[in-house]
Amino acid sequence: MNKIFEVPMYPYARHADQDAPAPVRHKVIVIGAGPIGLGAAIDLAQQGIEVVVLDDNDKVSFGSRAICFAKRTLEIAERLGCDHPMVDKGVQWNVGKVFFDDREVYNFNLLAEEGHNQPAFINLQQYYFEEYMVDRVRELQAEGAPIEIRGRNKVSAIGTHPDHVTIEIDTPEGSYNLEADWMIACDGAGSPTRAMLGKDFVGRVFEDNFLIADVVMEADFPTERWFWFDPPFNKGQSALLHKQPDGVWRIDLQLGWDIDKEREKRPENVIPRLKAMLGDDIEFELEWVSIYTFQCRRMEQFRHGRVLFAGDAAHQVSPFGARGANSGLQDTDNLCWKLKLVMEGKAPESLLDSYDAERVYGADENILNSSRSTDFITPKSETSRLFRDAVLDLSEHYEFARPLVNSGRLSVPCTYDGSSLNSADALSGPARTRPGSACPDAPLGDAFLLPKLADRFTLLTIDADAPDVIEEGGITVERLALSVKDDKTLALKERYLGDCDSGVYLIRPDQHVAARRPSFDENQFRAAIRRATGQE
């Protein structure tokens, strides 16, 4: 049977641009049709901005790769119109077990907060995530949206200019040139775009190798995340077992630094390792095996004139905590509305520098968290291992030590504290909705809050008066009027008011809070709109 990742999803097809007498100019060219590139393209296209995605391949991700998609990512996917198949297909889990040596030291239930439309996270192979995004692209195309994906279009040269970018592209039928007003590089950790522009990518190398295997088996392991520290079947190292859809299990085995990668990848070496882990009597089939090393690093700047970097091309983290694809989608979520306003002449180009500032801040947070997880999972000194093992030994007996066990801190949305787009917090409301925060969802009767806050600036009023529409500096802000009287679960009050009786929030198109006050003050909110769009 052909796996989805073996089927060309966007096969090469000759485009009229290749026969044009002069390079054709596009509005936005996205490099890379991974989850981040597709996310950027869908976001722009569904808001009417013409976009072309170039990919050197013609298939979705080979092997499962990213498998853990967090709530914020699913909320973004909801805004992009492709969350349903992801959530339907994805595996949800709540229970995790932690093993140390030959014993289970504790288990936990995540007990996700109620009152959110999206689950805390799902496990889903990256190839499905991409497939559903490609389906969404096809749907948008059928609706006439200006979006296309060109497979086996490999960028071979890039020229940067003050007001556009020139791109040379190799195809199976020779090369051609294009121009773009803007370019978004989402071409992964090894970003050829970054290399072609000669930009640095510095950080910390972790001297370790991980064997990663997708195994198809009919085993009755429960739908739980199992993490082993120093297990008998992989002495001195770690291991992870995680369930994906279709009876595929993801296994990560730490191998250490001094290994022969090609040798370790061979089935005759992989299978005995897996049998030692799963037991001799379990029947399984290897779907995909890879060995990865990782680094924690980022570009110094994510914006270089008209070229914007997003996802792994801009920053790379260790896989612990699912902060790769999840943070990449937060990049494009942050970028696309800003790019749209700049392209429409409604915001100065400098608004894009706030993309750099906010997402560099987010990348640093992710690098910090994933470096800490990595230091716990793979201690780098005798003392570090001593404390790690002490935490694990204590965790078996005492609850206090369990929060110190770090097998990956799951990706949560970044709060852009200190962003130049924020207005000073003027509401003594909950910290989780302070300016810079991603809005938490809340039930509104049969519907949910977040879809009502998507794609445009919104003035959310809770038991407060305000005009239905405000126009400021070319930006139209519509009011969403809510009341705690209709808030049966009190989630809205708890998340947006706390002890306050009323609140007015200015919310950005990416559902982050720009400003909040107890009541509507016209001058203050007009200033907040200008600030949030880089106009002051």
**Is the distance from CB of 294 to CB of 319 less than 8 angstroms?**
yes
- Compare residues 219 and 401 and give the one whose CB is closer to other proteins: 401
Tell whether residue 401 is a contact of other proteins (CB under 8 A).
yes
Gap between the Cα atoms of 219 and 284, Å rounded: 9
Count the Cβ atoms, other than its own, within 10 Å of residue 256: 13
* Interface segment toward other proteins; rule CB under 8 A; list 16-24, 48-56, 130-138, 392-400: 392-400
CA atoms within 13 A of residue 141's CA, in its CB half-sphere = 12
Among 95, 261, 285, 387, binds other proteins (CB under 8 A): 387
Tell whether residue 424 is a contact of other proteins (CB under 8 A).
no
Which residues in 230-335 belong to E strands, given as ranges?
238-244, 248-256, 284-298, 303-304, 307-309, 315-316
**Is the distance from CB of 356 to CB of 301 less than 8 angstroms?**
yes
Among 7, 95, 368, 390, binds other proteins (CB under 8 A): 390
Q: Is 357 helix (H, G, I), strand (E, B) or coil?
A: helix
Closest alpha carbon to 134 in 74, 72, 59: 59
User: How many chain residues touch other proteins (CB under 8 A)?
Assistant: 11
**Please, which of residues 123-152 interact with other proteins by CB under 8 A?**
none
Which amino acid is it at 298?
R
* Interface segment toward other proteins; rule CB under 8 A; list 5-13, 137-145, 381-389, 505-513: 381-389
- Compare residues 2 and 381 and give the one whose CB is closer to other proteins: 381
Tell me the torsion sign for CA atoms 271, 277, 280, 282: negative
* Interface segment toward other proteins; rule CB under 8 A; list 24-32, 269-277, 383-391, 510-518: 383-391
Tell me the torsion sign for CA atoms 200, 204, 206, 212: negative
Rounded to a whole number of angstroms, the minimum distance from the CB of residue 403 to other proteins is 10
Phi-psi region of 420 (alpha: psi -120 to 50; beta: other; left: phi over 0): alpha
Rounded to a whole number of angstroms, the minimum distance from the CB of residue 430 to other proteins is 22
Rounded to a whole number of angstroms, the minimum distance from the CB of residue 377 to other proteins is 17
Among 276, 404, 412, 500, binds other proteins (CB under 8 A): 404
Rounded to a whole number of angstroms, the minimum distance from the CB of residue 400 to other proteins is 4
Count the Cβ atoms, other than its own, within 10 Å of residue 114: 8
Among 329, 391, 449, 460, binds other proteins (CB under 8 A): 391
Count the Cβ atoms, other than its own, within 10 Å of residue 244: 23
Among 13, 20, 195, 386, binds other proteins (CB under 8 A): 386
Tell whether residue 394 is a contact of other proteins (CB under 8 A).
yes
**Is the distance from CB of 336 to CB of 351 less than 8 angstroms?**
no
Tell whether residue 368 is a contact of other proteins (CB under 8 A).
no
Gap between the Cα atoms of 394 and 98, Å rounded: 13
Which amino acid is it at 323?
R
Phi, psi angle pair for 145, to nearest 5°: -70, 145
**Is the distance from CB of 186 to CB of 179 less than 8 angstroms?**
no
- Compare residues 176 and 376 and give the one whose CB is closer to other proteins: 376
**165-171/174-185 β-pairing:** antiparallel
- Compare residues 220 and 400 and give the one whose CB is closer to other proteins: 400
Rounded to a whole number of angstroms, the minimum distance from the CB of residue 428 to other proteins is 24
Tell whether residue 402 is a contact of other proteins (CB under 8 A).
no
* Interface segment toward other proteins; rule CB under 8 A; list 182-190, 287-295, 390-398, 421-429: 390-398
Interaction pattern, residues 469-508, with other proteins; x per rule: CB under 8 A: ----------------------------------------
Element (H, E) at 388: helix 382-397
* Interface segment toward other proteins; rule CB under 8 A; list 278-286, 322-330, 397-405, 425-433: 397-405
Among 22, 400, 431, 499, binds other proteins (CB under 8 A): 400
Token pair belonging to 502: 């009323």
- Compare residues 238 and 395 and give the one whose CB is closer to other proteins: 395
Which amino acid is it at 108?
F
Among 25, 398, 478, 483, binds other proteins (CB under 8 A): 398
Among 135, 168, 389, 396, binds other proteins (CB under 8 A): 389
Closest alpha carbon to 226 in 236, 211, 241: 241
Among 101, 135, 170, 393, binds other proteins (CB under 8 A): 393
Q: Which residue reads 């509507």 in tokens?
A: 520
Kindly list the residues in this chain that would bind other proteins in the complex (CB under 8 A).
Answer: 386-387, 389-391, 393-394, 398, 400-401, 404
